[in-house]
Structure 1
Amino acid sequence: MAEVHIIGQLTGASEFPDHRLFCKWGIHAGGAWKLIAGSKDGQTQVDNPQNEEFAAFCHPIDLHYATKGLQGWPRLHVQIWHHDAFGRNELYAYGFVHIPSSPGPHEVECMTWKPNGTFKEELMQYFVGGCPQLKNPELIYSGADRYKLHTTAMGKVHAQLNVILRNFDKFGIES
């Protein structure tokens, strides 16, 4: 079987409206993909930068997949959360990006978005906090019904990923 190694880190997040951010992340791959080693999801620590707009995570990612086909190429999906001064965690944004399919080092930027609520929900969010959340988190990376959502653009999540491909030439796949 062909193999893909993904080694790198979530470096941080930028352009969000507030500090004290952390990231819940995961890698989703199709049915032809088998995780051989590594953790396919995780969570970073909370970073509260004082004098800059970049929340640094430096959270490692190290995965090894085997695959029988290219369908369902791995995707990195993220949820950015805000830890407020009262100790509450509120969802800030969702996002996803495909893992690069070419071998070598890659600087990846994942654009994020948040779902819009009704007028009442937006008013409550302004005064009380919180944000509308997806009932089905698979909507983050699957295109099924995501086009029906009304969203607002948020910040970016930055990652440095090294992709290593092995045995793709034996199966007639040029990388």
Structure 2
Amino acid sequence: MAELHVIGEISHARKFPKQSLFCKWNLQFGNNWKLVSGKQEGQTHVISSEFEDDCKWCFPIDIHLATKGIQGWPKIYIQVFHLDWLGRSHLFGYGFILIPTTAGQHTVECFTWRPFGTLRQRFVQFFLGGGPQLKHPDLIISGNDRNKLSTEAMGIVQFQINVIFRNFSKFGVEY
């Protein structure tokens, strides 16, 4: 079987409206893929910077996958949350990235967004926090009906990723 090894980190978040952020991530892949080692999901720690506009997580990712075919290429789906002064977490953005299809070191930026909500939901969000969330977050990756969503842009999450291929050329895949 061909193998893909992804080593890297969720390095930092920037341009979000508030600090005290954490990120939940989940690796998605097709039926041809199998997780050999590493974690398929995780969560960063909460970080806040008083002096800078970005949050530096430096959260490690180490994933080893095996595949029979390239259909269902791996993606990392993220949710970014803000932790308020009362300890409540509020959704600050959804996003996803494709694992790069070339070997080597990559810097990948994930532009995040969140549902915009109605005027009433925005009013409640301003005074009480929270806000609208997707009932089925798998819409983010599949793309079905995603164009019907009313959204607002949030911040950017940056990944530093090293990609290593093994035995892909044996199976006729050039990179």
Question: TM-score by structure 2 length?
Answer: 0.98
Report SS of the residue matched to 2:66. Answer: strand
> For 1:134-173, what aligned pairs fall within 5 Å after superposition?
134-173=134-173
Report SS of the residue matched to 2:170. Answer: helix
Report SS of the residue matched to 2:138. Answer: helix
**In 1, Cα distance between the equivalents of 2:99 and 2:147?**
21
**In 1, Cα distance between the equivalents of 2:26 and 2:160?**
15
Q: CA deviation at 1:38?
A: 0.3
Q: CA deviation at 1:101?
A: 0.5
> For 1:127-138, what aligned pairs fall within 5 Å after superposition?
127-138=127-138
Report SS of the residue matched to 2:173. Answer: coil
Q: CA deviation at 1:36?
A: 0.5
Q: CA deviation at 1:33?
A: 0.6
Name the aligned partner's letter for residue 71 of structure 2: Q
**In 1, Cα distance between the equivalents of 2:144 and 2:32?**
19
Name the aligned partner's letter for residue 59 of structure 2: H
CA RMSD across the alignment:
0.7
Aligned structure 1 segments of 4 or more residues deviating by more than 2 angstroms: none
Q: State the match for 1:45 in structure 2.
A: 45
Q: CA deviation at 1:97?
A: 1.1
Deviations, residues 63-105 of structure 1 (Å, cap 9, x unaligned): 0001111111011111000001111111110001111010000
Deviations, residues 101-147 of structure 1 (Å, cap 9, x unaligned): 10000001000000111111111111111021111111121111211
Bigger mean CA deviation after superposition, 20-29 or 137-146: 137-146
Q: State the match for 1:12 in structure 2.
A: 12
Q: State the match for 2:74 in structure 1.
A: 74
Report SS of the residue matched to 1:72. Answer: coil
Q: State the match for 2:115 in structure 1.
A: 115
Q: State the match for 2:63 in structure 1.
A: 63
**In 2, Cα distance between the equivalents of 1:56 and 1:40?**
22
- How many residues are paired up? 175
Q: State the match for 1:174 in structure 2.
A: 174
Question: TM-score by structure 1 length?
Answer: 0.98
- In the alignment, structure 1 residue 28 sits paired with structure 2 residue 53: no
Q: CA deviation at 1:27?
A: 1.1
Q: State the match for 1:99 in structure 2.
A: 99
**In 2, Cα distance between the equivalents of 1:78 and 1:53?**
20
Report SS of the residue matched to 1:141. Answer: helix
Q: CA deviation at 1:148?
A: 1.2
**In 1, Cα distance between the equivalents of 2:147 and 2:37?**
34
Report SS of the residue matched to 1:112. Answer: strand
